[in-house]
Amino acid sequence: MYAIVEIAGQQFKVSKDLKVYVHRLADKEGDAISFAKVLLLDDAGTITLGAPAVEGASVEAKVLQHLKGDKVIVFKKKRRKGYKKRNGHRQYLTQIQISGITLPGAKKEKAAPKKEATPATEEVEAPKKKVAKAKKEETQE
């Protein structure tokens, strides 16, 4: 099972127990967080595509640590002009571990059979009354 989820403005393909580096999150180390913007779910070959997100689906994760990424050197030069600029950057990152993926309707499945059971009993009673009326009409003729 995997999901494509949007975290801090970027999309990631995640599965259970996967460690992911994302842009710095405001949560503290050790906090459990949930992401509700799940764009796609794959459950053993059954794909659910959101428009734009899957309703009721969420991804739970735990913040492991905050750190800085590798240094990236930005060097600009214009030849024959004597122009050189050197700049560096280190991105602030958060490492998270995915603890689980919640499917949509996990809580709703328990309530749905009760709603379906009541109309089914009404449908069974209704044809019996119609049959009884039809038999009365045949006996009267």
pLDDT tens figures, 93-116:
999 999 999 988 765 444 444 444
Candidates 86, 96, 81, 75; CA nearest to 32 is: 96
Contact 3, 59 (CB under 8 A): yes
pLDDT category of residue 92 using cuts at 50, 70 and 90: very high
pLDDT at 104: 82
Backbone torsions φ then ψ of 122, nearest 5 degrees: -65, -40
Asked whether the beta carbons of 22 and 65 are under 8 A apart, the reply is: no
Indicate whether 32 pLDDT > 60.
Answer: yes
Distance of CA 37 to the CA centre of its chain: 5
Alpha carbon distance 69, 132 (integer Å): 79
Token duo for residue 54: 């899957």
Judge if pTM exceeds 0.85: no
> Which residue in the block uniquely carries the two structure tokens 């950057």?
89
| CA-wise closest residue to 7 among 47, 63, 56 | 63
pLDDT for position 25: 95
The arrangement of strands across the sheet holding 38-43 comes to: 10-14, 2-7, 38-43, 46-49
Rounded-to-integer distance, Cα 100 and Cα 16, Å: 5
